[in-house]
Structure 1
Amino acid sequence: MLALSLAVAVGLHRTATAQDPAGYSAPFADRLTNRVFPLFAMLQTAPGWADALRNDPVLQKLATDRAARVPQGACKPAPQCLADAWAWTAEDIAAVEARLRTIMSNQKAADALVDRQIRASGRFARHAALSDADLLAAAWRDAAMAMNRVIDVYAKGVPPRYPAIDAFIFDIADPRMVDVLSAHGVATAAQTKPNDLFFEPALRYANGLMQMNERIDAGTFRPLLGGDNADTVRAIARMNWRAKPYTALLVFGHGPEDVQSRTGVMGHIRLAIAADLFARGLAPFIIVSGGNVHPNRTPFNEAVEMKRLLVTQYGIPADRILMEPHARHTTTNLRNCARLLLAADFPADKPALVVSDHRTIQYIGSSELAERNVREMGVQPGRLAPGPDRFTLIFTPDPVAFHVEAVDPLDP
């Protein structure tokens, strides 16, 4: 009996501290760089891979050559040249890919990385149909290009897809940016260690840029199924699901555009609809989804504020509300809720309900959003069907939602 209790406790602890698909438990910490660049965490932890990369003469030379590119003084055109030194060139990317494919010829190494990490994690689901070697190559190319994108946006001021809420927070034309980027580059280069893997200096540089720009959203509220969500996760595990038609009501935030409001006006309307459906017993849980989005760099988090209102204004028990505090768009609302539905052990044979105002529901169920999902995230995070009324859509999550789109480092 004691052994069974311990096993249950261990299982609940794993569920409560990891946002992973069934059957996989990440062997690395759930922090910012690992969330944005999971391949690098896997290369660091998969048995045999760190030594293979560290001892590879081609990768050793590449690391030395890349270190030599970092300016220790002035360069032109500044400040862009200071950032360009850290980017992965096409030649760099091709050279690394070739060495990764060579290491993959060792079947034991291939199994340790690709089977037990890359495939099992779901974080590269968009490439799942590829062979093991091609899958690793695609994951590497994605990671290198995503790191280059971080450098472009958060060191060089290149506009991201949504500049109003995701952009570089400084003025790239300010002469002081030369000093800032020079200081960051020199300091990062000085942190290089003899046992670094070939990508680790550049990873520190990219992480530093996100820190300097205060764009660390992807690393907040981790572990996601612990902390404020832990009581809800335990309630999910105890729930008797018989006679429950849907697992959860999914409510997407609406950020205000003024600095004083905590919740956008449409958010209040959506919460009222969700509270009514909850009271009528359509689902025993509510998932509120939304990050720190509008206005730009707001201190208010949509999910946190929606949970607060559901508890204080509608009397919904806090342990019946699961927060998804990272989504920045309707696309990622759907994807991140799909991840939570799968990771928090909601019943796989019951769908959830997306709840919103009648106009937004039409958009969520449209081909326009479906096309945008694939264009911006690379995957369709689940299936949508008409709900029981004009304010709802039935949603069945798909495990491909675990795919990480690192080009969006604020919510990959």
Structure 2
Amino acid sequence: MKKHLLFLVIFIAYITSYAQEYSSPEVYNTLSQKNFYLLNAIQNDNVIKEILIKDDILSEIFKDQKDAISKVLKEDSKNLDSLISPYIFSTKSAKKITENLYRIFQDSKKFRNFINADIRNSGAYILYNDLEDQEFIQKIWNLNAEGINHILNTYGKGKLPQYASIDSVSYDVTSDYYKGAVKMWSKHIYSETKEKQTWFSPSLNLALSLLYLNHRDEAARYEPLEKLENKKTVENIKNIDFEAFPYASILILGNGPENYRDRLSALGKLNIKLGVKEYLDGKAPIIVVSGGHAHPFRAEYCEAIEMKKELITEYHIPEDHIIIEPHARHTTTNLRNTARLYIQYNIPMSKAHLVVTNNGHSQYVSSNNFLDRCVKELGYLPAKIKSRINNTAVEFVPLKTSLQQNPLEPLDP
């Protein structure tokens, strides 16, 4: 009887703990991992999380923020700026956090191993890997803080993002409805905030909630790809002799429709036909189709999904020779996201690949303007652009720098 009672107590404790840890929608974890690898890794490592929670200075920062949030919520106001501001990381607080993270790094072997092994080796911050420890910590924390601030400003306060026509907040931020909704979400998040948490928990939670309530969870959709849409091809890759083909893959770029009726645009369908021609000519063993829910605003259909359907139903391409990349919103991330899948699926990176699209778009991909845009928007080149073998196909070699996360574009980081 005592054994059964002890088991029941342990079981109830486990269930309670599980419920507290996973009370948020599952999509939060995926969004967090893809946008904020550092913070997500901390949250999922109980030893590291405990080290950081116990730190006096970080605890003080957390307590001050919690008090500021409480003060705002007690006011009878629906002003979005005042509701969101306590969650924003100021330049001063971000600097203080960096200094303390580096101090903990110096003092704690466990945290030092966490940074040097887990974080550096993840690839999420590959552009910073050659930096000394202090600057590396500063860069990765600042990037995460800036990413959170960007979401809070864009999907909380309604600040226009770079590509406002497709990436903006979903609601009228001047409406009483939205202001009231944000206040209620903030109250709910505050009510779930524990006495002791990581210093970033409230801000990260609100940022993820804003993406969720705005239906801007595009970055998490269709994951995990390797177990869902891409499963058959991932299983088939080990059977492919890539040396038997001139190219490792054919990447077909999307061309989003401009209305809510069409699943594929006229040029999108042309791109598919052009890519199939290269495939049937034996250029590569795999077709990659790339395009997300980008056009029009909050598009219902995912372009890569629709392109895959077209390949199978209209051209009879075997499903286990098709990879979808359903998140890209621009040509820059068509190549970047595809490179990430090549790395994940062990598709040759040193071998050339083909990117296929209509004549005008193909000319752009092979131009210096496209390379300049990659550097400006991504901070690096996701691929080496080589020869344009015809009017609609360009050779490229993917680069590992594509692993770098970009939470400043949270719909496709």
TM norm structure 2: 0.90
After superposition, where does 1:1-12 map in structure 2 within 5 Å? Answer: none
Is 1:41 aligned to residue 35 of structure 2?
A: no
Is 1:245 aligned to residue 246 of structure 2?
A: yes
Is 1:289 aligned to residue 302 of structure 2?
A: no
Q: Aligned with 2:199: secondary structure?
A: coil
Q: Aligned with 1:133: secondary structure?
A: helix
Q: Aligned with 2:405: secondary structure?
A: coil
Aligned-partner Cα distance in 1 for 2:321–2:215: 31
Question: Is the contact between residue 325 and residue 338 of structure 2 (CA under 8 Å) also seen in structure 1?
Answer: yes
The CA RMSD measured in Å over matched residues stands at 1.6
Pairs aligned (count): 384
Aligned-partner Cα distance in 2 for 1:51–1:110: 11
- Corresponding residue number in structure 1 for 2:226: 225
**Larger proportion of helix:** 2
Q: More displaced, 74-83 or 58-67? A: 74-83
Question: Is the contact between residue 378 and residue 405 of structure 1 (CA under 8 Å) also seen in structure 2?
Answer: no
Aligned-partner Cα distance in 2 for 1:197–1:320: 44
Aligned residue identity for 2:345: A
Q: Aligned with 2:197: secondary structure?
A: coil
Is 1:200 aligned to residue 197 of structure 2?
A: no
Q: More displaced, 142-151 or 341-350? A: 341-350
Aligned-partner Cα distance in 2 for 1:106–1:367: 47
After superposition, where does 1:267-286 map in structure 2 within 5 Å? Answer: 267-286=268-287
Aligned-partner Cα distance in 2 for 1:109–1:364: 45
Deviations for 1:108-152, whole angstroms, at most 9, x for unmatched residues?
335422221222111112222211221121100011011011000
Aligned-partner Cα distance in 2 for 1:173–1:44: 34
- Corresponding residue number in structure 2 for 1:138: 139
Give % identity: 29
- Corresponding residue number in structure 2 for 1:254: 255
After superposition, where does 1:226-375 map in structure 2 within 5 Å? Answer: 226-375=227-376
Aligned residue identity for 1:52: I
Q: More displaced, 224-233 or 317-326? A: 224-233
- Corresponding residue number in structure 2 for 1:60: 59
- Corresponding residue number in structure 2 for 1:377: 378
Aligned residue identity for 2:375: V
After superposition, where does 1:161-176 map in structure 2 within 5 Å? Answer: 161-176=162-177
Question: Is the contact between residue 47 and residue 109 of structure 1 (CA under 8 Å) also seen in structure 2?
Answer: no
Question: Is the contact between residue 362 and residue 391 of structure 2 (CA under 8 Å) also seen in structure 1?
Answer: yes
Q: Aligned with 2:324: secondary structure?
A: strand
Question: Is the contact between residue 42 and residue 113 of structure 1 (CA under 8 Å) also seen in structure 2?
Answer: no
Question: Is the contact between residue 103 and residue 109 of structure 1 (CA under 8 Å) also seen in structure 2?
Answer: no
Aligned residue identity for 2:386: A
Q: Do the aligned partners of residues 319 and 34 (structure 1) sit closer, same or farther apart at CA in structure 2, a change above 3 Å counting?
A: same
- Corresponding residue number in structure 2 for 1:191: 192
Cα distance, 1:392 vs structure 2: 1.2
Structure 1 segments unaligned to the other structure (5+ residues)? 1-28
Deviations for 1:69-88, whole angstroms, at most 9, x for unmatched residues?
11123366812111112111
Aligned residue identity for 2:372: E
Structure 2 segments unaligned to the other structure (5+ residues)? 1-27
Q: Do the aligned partners of residues 75 and 139 (structure 1) sit closer, same or farther apart at CA in structure 2, a change above 3 Å counting?
A: farther
Aligned-partner Cα distance in 2 for 1:329–1:347: 24
Q: Do the aligned partners of residues 394 and 110 (structure 1) sit closer, same or farther apart at CA in structure 2, a change above 3 Å counting?
A: farther
Aligned residue identity for 1:359: G
Aligned-partner Cα distance in 1 for 2:112–2:52: 16
Question: Is the contact between residue 46 and residue 117 of structure 1 (CA under 8 Å) also seen in structure 2?
Answer: no
Deviations for 1:52-81, whole angstroms, at most 9, x for unmatched residues?
211100111110100111112336681211
Deviations for 1:136-192, whole angstroms, at most 9, x for unmatched residues?
211000110110110000010000011111101111221233312211111111111
Question: Is the contact between residue 292 and residue 328 of structure 1 (CA under 8 Å) also seen in structure 2?
Answer: yes
Question: Is the contact between residue 382 and residue 402 of structure 2 (CA under 8 Å) also seen in structure 1?
Answer: yes
- Corresponding residue number in structure 2 for 1:148: 149
Aligned residue identity for 1:289: S
Question: Is the contact between residue 78 and residue 180 of structure 2 (CA under 8 Å) also seen in structure 1?
Answer: no
Aligned-partner Cα distance in 1 for 2:394–2:46: 44
- Corresponding residue number in structure 2 for 1:14: none
- Corresponding residue number in structure 2 for 1:22: none
Question: Is the contact between residue 284 and residue 320 of structure 1 (CA under 8 Å) also seen in structure 2?
Answer: yes
TM norm structure 1: 0.90
Q: More displaced, 173-182 or 39-48? A: 39-48
Aligned-partner Cα distance in 2 for 1:156–1:277: 47
Aligned-partner Cα distance in 2 for 1:403–1:237: 26
Question: Is the contact between residue 366 and residue 388 of structure 2 (CA under 8 Å) also seen in structure 1?
Answer: no
Cα distance, 1:107 vs structure 2: 6.5
Aligned-partner Cα distance in 2 for 1:54–1:101: 15
- Corresponding residue number in structure 1 for 2:88: 87
Aligned residue identity for 1:41: N
Cα distance, 1:405 vs structure 2: 0.5
Specify which structure has the bigger relative contact order, considering alpha-carbon pairs within 8 angstroms and separated by 6 or more residues. 1
Aligned-partner Cα distance in 1 for 2:149–2:406: 14
Question: Is the contact between residue 110 and residue 132 of structure 1 (CA under 8 Å) also seen in structure 2?
Answer: no
Q: Do the aligned partners of residues 77 and 176 (structure 1) sit closer, same or farther apart at CA in structure 2, a change above 3 Å counting?
A: closer
